Structure 1
Amino acid sequence: MKTLVVIPTYNEIDSLPRTLAALDTWAPAAHVLVVDDGSPDGTGEWADRHAESDSRVNVLHNSVKSGLGGAYLAGFRWALARDWDIVCEMDADGSHRARDLPQLLAAVRDGADLAIGSRWVPGGAVVNWPRNRHLLSRGANLYANVLIGLGVSDATAGFRAFRRETLETLDLEDVESTGYCFQIDMTRRVKEAGLRIAEIPVTFVERELGESKMDGDIINEALVRVARWGVQRRGRQLRGLARR
């Protein structure tokens, strides 16, 4: 199954070369699409030069900074316009280990419509995270599960593999989430479509190079959107009861 790994970048010139080298080792048959949001540090230009000598690497430049969600949606559209069977999400900063990617691909080949690299299932782990990040991630997943009933241990995880048909089923033009809430949003849509989600234990490693993009605006977006989806879900449940 032809595999494309979509890697969004913004100021990842130090970490991106390491990530691509790791993919060469652990997933040599996979191709890569770097989606750069106009990095001022030259990440996009470096990726262009690298792609000239590596036919498996492609580069897509966003004219305006569109955030994580916008970068992935651009990558998905690019992939669906071509003949990729599996489309993956992966961070450029080294937190997602390329050595874990074959397990996600195997889950899709075995029938999963979406395979999530999960930190919070048995066998999953995080390395070098401060306590506040543990609490934030655990709390975000609990919040999402209580309000919208995902039944997924790590809905915020950004290391994923989608079957092509999964992305074709979803209305990508309707997705408005831009930050890390994008991952919850996509999980919700796959779940509501009745598709199969598999969680694969992975080890998440805190970045060694560059700076985290997590900020208050990203957290607030997730809080507000998840609350709205929770209200919509409860409304559907009440309408269903009223029709009985």
Structure 2
Amino acid sequence: MKRIITVVLCLFVLFPAVAFSENGDFIVYITKSGTKYHLDGCPSLRSSKIPITLSEAIAQGYEPCSRCNPPTLVSTDSQLTSTIGTSIDLEALALPYCRTPENIVHHTGYSLLYSEENEQAVWVAYVLTAEEVAGNFDRNDNFRADSDIVTGSASLSDYKGSGYDRGHLAPAADLKWSRASMNDSFYLSNMSPQAPGFNRGVWKKLEEWVREEATAERAVCVVTGPILTDGPYETIGGNGVTVPKRYYKVLLDW
């Protein structure tokens, strides 16, 4: 059974999604003359497109388009398959559709799409498993700028004296399963200015509930971010970090 759990703080948000066939297989697109399979809307898919299941595309020798980064099937002996009992690549499934996948930044345990205009992530996405929830690496509070953001991320000085918490989008407690993932959780690209009462109150409770879901269901895909479409906004710091009014969190229980 597949469940999508959408947790909304003041607003419901929809992401463009990968289509599925009746049997649960991914729907991708090919052309008669091409050799690649694509997501709908891929800029490389210029001629008449033919919908086809991912399994059929692979069986016919089509390869994934690197430009749109369509999903792939994991082998039957992969760790995800043995853990989740499915041939679906959850790591690929967790990523929201993106017209410029080359702009996605990958860190240990999560990926993000950064907004230079707002100096924070549009979304962060990851798969959270029961085993990861049980991790035991201590929080290190190593807040720092993210050098992987080519345009430059927010800085510590942006938050200093602002009155706002550096609110995690991908929580440190979701990434305590390794020293590297815990360390990467403190990049400022993974932070958003949050009122202390919100960050330490309902947002913390929501994060705890997500971990309960991951433990109960063995694994969930998590997408989290600020809503950046209802400005104008207050900003903080020399880099002008946007202070969002609302946030969203979407869970997929495959």
* TM-score, normalised relative to structure 2: 0.25
Greater strand share, 1 or 2? 2
Greater helix share, 1 or 2? 1
> Which protein shows a greater Rg?
2
* TM-score, normalised relative to structure 1: 0.26
